[in-house]
């Protein structure tokens, strides 16, 4: 069978990215231009600045992806692009660029959900992986337990009722004066800290609930820091980081494993930026000891935002002829499983 080559574009937040992916699983090139250094000085992503930098970089990043793949536009079967969720101005840069390519080259335009992309990163790193399975999506904006029933068929079983997991990491990092993005720094500090030093609350919500709440633990950390300061007691940053991280990862692993057992599913995968967290990975491994559930996660460069994951998701959409016409628009609050553009042409 002839290979299907997807050129994919991702600009939903602060990474300008393009990739070439063959048959949804093989990454031929994966170019990521990160704006982190630009946003660092503001302590977070500034939407206007992100859009402007995407405009400046998109063309170069796409050209580089093709060059690295040793391909031309002629070799491409379809153009996949993230159209939500994300920052609307940032998304629009990728969407407009993809639309113009699809129009000029007369190739199918494939609209991809960013969260779906995160999940599909696992198809790249784990060639054996096939649905059904449970995916835990933990990123800066999302915390979802997803039942992946089939390629492109998702049911969200639980989600955060307030902060996303990554947001909690970033906010706690900021209160410790660690800068942005805080997740990787908390992770690093936690590795040398004592995770039993401070007993932060584990928020499980109602019995059987698969939802999350992380705003309580964030406040608990702030209260702890204030109390220590008021009493003139020392703050051991690595112990705070380790204890906070442990409280978060314990709840996540417990709920995800409960979801898998409830549905008799024997595969769990992690997705999204926080999936890079070493404490989270270790906690899953610990809680899964003796259980016949397999557990996997993508390498770090496929956990954080990239276009290869969009190319994988786009391939499965290509197979099911899930194409968009040139009216495709960015949808900043796009939900997982919501297919707004289905045009069987
Ligand atoms: O998936 P992602 O790159 O962007 C979104 O779609 O949101 O996730 C970014 C988030 C940030 O909150 C960042 O702090 C967090 O992922 N993150 C981590 C780690 N690496 C990135 N959180 C905890 N531990 C890490 N090692
Ligand atoms: Zn993301």
Q: What residues does the ion ligand 2 have nearby, CB within 5 Å?
A: 139, 305
Among protein residues, the one whose CA lies closest to atom 2 of ligand 1: 273
* pLDDT digit string, tens, across residues 165-187: 999 999 999 999 998 889 999 99
Nearest CA to ligand 1 atom 13: 183
C-alpha 320 – ligand 1 centre gap (Å): 31
CA of 245 to the centre of ligand 1 (A): 13
pLDDT at residue 344 greater than cutoff 60: no
Q: How far is the CA of 233 from the centre of ligand 1 (A)?
A: 31
- The predicted model gives 123-135 an average pLDDT of 97
Question: Taking the model in full, what pTM does it have?
Answer: 0.94
Contact 123, 24 (CB under 8 A): yes
pLDDT of residue 53 exceeding 90, the answer is no
The tokens for 230 are 């008021």
Tokens 């499983």 sit at which residue?
337
273 pocket-lining for ligand 1 (C-beta < 6 Å): yes
Find tokens 């492109």 and name the residue.
152
Residue range 21-46: mean pLDDT, rounded: 88
Give the pLDDT band (50/70/90) at residue 341: low
The predicted structure's pLDDT at residue 342: 59
Which atom belonging to ligand 1 lies closest to the Cα atom of 180? 14
pLDDT at 50: 82
Residue with the larger pLDDT of the pair 50 and 283: 283
> 81 pairs with which residues across the strands?
9, 111
**Mean pLDDT to the nearest integer, 259-283:** 97
DSSP code of residue 55: H
| Confidence band, pLDDT 50/70/90 cuts, at residue 345 | very low
Percent of the chain at pLDDT exceeding 90: 88
Give the pLDDT of residue 343: 54
Ligand 1 centroid from CA 188, angstroms = 13
The topology (CATH level 3) of 5-119+303-344 is: Nucleotidyltransferase; domain 5 (3.30.420)
* Fold match flag (5-119+303-344 vs 131-300): yes
Confidence of residue 38 (pLDDT cuts 50, 70, 90): confident
Q: Which residues contact 150 (CB under 8 A, 6 or more apart)?
A: 131, 132
Extents of the domains making up the chain: 5-119+303-344, 131-300
pLDDT at residue 12 is higher than 90: yes
The per-residue pLDDT of the chain, averaged, comes to 95
Superfamily of domain 131-300: ATPase, nucleotide binding domain (3.30.420.40)
* 3 state SS of 97: helix
Question: Quick one: which atom of ligand 1 is closest to the CA of 300?
Answer: 20
Closest CA to 117 of 50, 211, 5, 17: 17
The per-residue pLDDT for range 202-250, each reduced to its tens digit, is 999 998 899 999 999 999 999 999 999 999 999 999 999 999 999 999 9
pLDDT value, residue 39: 76
Mutation choice for ligand 1 from 82, 166, 214, CB with most ligand atoms inside 8 A: 166
**Does any ligand 1 atom lie closer than 6 A to the CB of residue 305?**
yes
Determine if the peptide bond prior to 132 is cis (ω within 30°).
Answer: yes
Confirm or reject: Cβ of 183 under 6 Å from ligand 1: yes
């Amino acid at each position: 069978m002839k290979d299907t080559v997807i050129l994919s574009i991702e600009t939903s937040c602060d990474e300008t990215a393009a990739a070439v992916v063959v048959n949804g699983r093989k990454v031929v090139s994966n170019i990521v231009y990160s704006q982190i250094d630009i946003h660092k000085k503001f302590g977070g992503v500034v939407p206007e600045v992100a859009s402007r930098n995407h405009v400046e970089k998109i063309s170069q990043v796409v050209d580089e992806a093709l060059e690295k793949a040793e391909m031309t536009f002629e070799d491409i079967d379809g153009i996949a692009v993230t159209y939500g969720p994300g920052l609307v101005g940032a998304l629009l840069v990728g969407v407009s660029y993809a639309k113009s390519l699809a129009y000029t080259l007369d190739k199918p335009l494939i609209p991809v959900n960013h969260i779906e992309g995160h999940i599909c990163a696992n198809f790249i790193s784990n060639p054996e992986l096939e649905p059904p399975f449970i995916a835990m999506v933990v990123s800066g904006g999302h915390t979802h337990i997803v039942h992946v029933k089939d390629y492109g068929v998702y049911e969200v079983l639980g989600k955060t009722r307030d902060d996303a997991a990554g947001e909690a990491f970033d906010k706690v990092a900021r209160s410790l004066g660690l800068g942005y993005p805080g997740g990787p720094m908390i992770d690093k500090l936690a590795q040398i800290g004592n995770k039993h030093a401070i007993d932060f609350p584990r928020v499980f919500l109602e019995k059987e609930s698969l939802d999350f709440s992380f705003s309580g633990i964030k406040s608990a950390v702030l209260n702890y820091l204030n109390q220590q300061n008021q009493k003139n007691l020392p703050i051991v940053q690595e112990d705070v980081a380790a204890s906070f991280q442990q409280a978060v990862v314990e709840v996540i692993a417990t709920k995800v494993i409960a979801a898998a057992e409830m549905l008799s599913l024997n595969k769990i995968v992690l997705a999204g930026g926080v999936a890079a967290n070493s404490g989270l990975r270790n906690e899953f491994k610990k809680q899964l000891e003796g259980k016949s559930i397999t557990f996997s996660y993508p390498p770090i460069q496929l956990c954080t935002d990239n276009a290869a994951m969009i190319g994988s998701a786009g391939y499965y959409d290509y197979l099911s002829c899930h194409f968009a016409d040139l009216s495709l628009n960015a949808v900043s609050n796009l939900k997982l499983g919501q297919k707004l553009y289905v045009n069987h042409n």
